[in-house]
Amino acid sequence: MAAAASPDTGRAIRRRKSGDERRQEIIREATKVIAERGFYGASLQEIADGIGITQAGMLRHVKNKNELLLLVLGQFESDNPTQACLEAMFSDYRETGRPQSFPAIYRTSVKQALDNPRLTQLYLVLRAEAMDPRHPAHDYFAQRGLRGRDNVANIEWNVPERYRDPKAIVDLYLTMGSALDGLQMRWLGENDFDLEQHWKVCEDFFYPLPEWEGCR
């Protein structure tokens, strides 16, 4: 509960948090713990301790650990600038027919990582765990990958001629995404690793000039 001073006595008056406020607090703490320990390593008790409530109290807001994971993933999607960037491109293309900037996808991802390392760590840790078909996020990541490829294949991109075929642009999308995942893992795990600079090197390699002139 939050505290506020009484205008009459100066004593603290404790305000009970609303259900939505408490749930958001739980999701934030769960995101932190799962990013650090993974889904399997995280415990409901540790998450409850982190926000100063009992596990029983927390379970009044979430049914179980699997439901909490779904809430964390839902918040991840809401807070994900890269996903928002892709959706905006898809919407703009449908409305205007304008070819979209392919390199902008991953520049947004790099900025997202630099702005919010914890969100990036959450994604990478869960993505690795979810290779196991028994993991509760396995289907989420499988479907997320399919949606991403489908979206990319159905947008016209401002790219060199050889990438204007849907299969070719999806192959490039997968390659670039895999390269960025690898760089982000190094960046999170190694001191003095400059993610932005290494991504610029990748761009020079994957988007070489003069072929990509006017497309970068």
Each residue's pLDDT tens digit, 68-110: 999 999 999 988 888 888 889 989 999 999 999 999 999 999 9
What Cα–Cα distance (Å) separates residue 169 from each residue in 3, 27, 67, 162, 174?
54, 36, 35, 9, 9
Domain 14-72 has CATH 3.40.50.720: no
Residue 5 is classified by DSSP as E
- CA separation, residue 73 to residues 32, 77, 88, 114, 138 (Å): 12, 6, 20, 20, 12
pLDDT at 14: 58
| pLDDT at residue 9 in the model | 58
- Concatenating the DSSP letter of every residue in 10-72 gives --EEEEPPPHHHHHHHHHHHHHHHHHHHHHHH--HHHHHHHTT--HHHHTTT-SSHHHHHHHH
Q: Give the pLDDT of the chain (216 residues) as one tens digit per residue.
A: 445 555 555 555 556 678 789 999 999 999 999 999 999 999 999 999 999 999 999 999 999 999 999 999 999 998 888 888 888 998 999 999 999 999 999 999 999 999 999 999 999 999 999 999 999 999 999 999 999 999 999 999 999 999 999 999 999 999 999 999 999 999 999 999 999 999 999 999 999 999 999 999
End-to-end CA gap in the chain: 51
Measured on CA atoms in the order 160, 161, 165, 167, is the torsion positive or negative? negative
Contacts with 43 (C-beta within 8 Å, 6 or more apart), sequence order: 33
> What is the pLDDT at residue 184?
98
Domain ranges for the chain: 14-72, 79-206
**74-85, pLDDT tens digit by residue?**
999 988 888 888
The pLDDT score that the predictor gives to residue 18 is: 80
Residue 171 has a pLDDT of 98
Q: What is the mean pLDDT of the chain?
A: 92
At 6 the pLDDT is 52
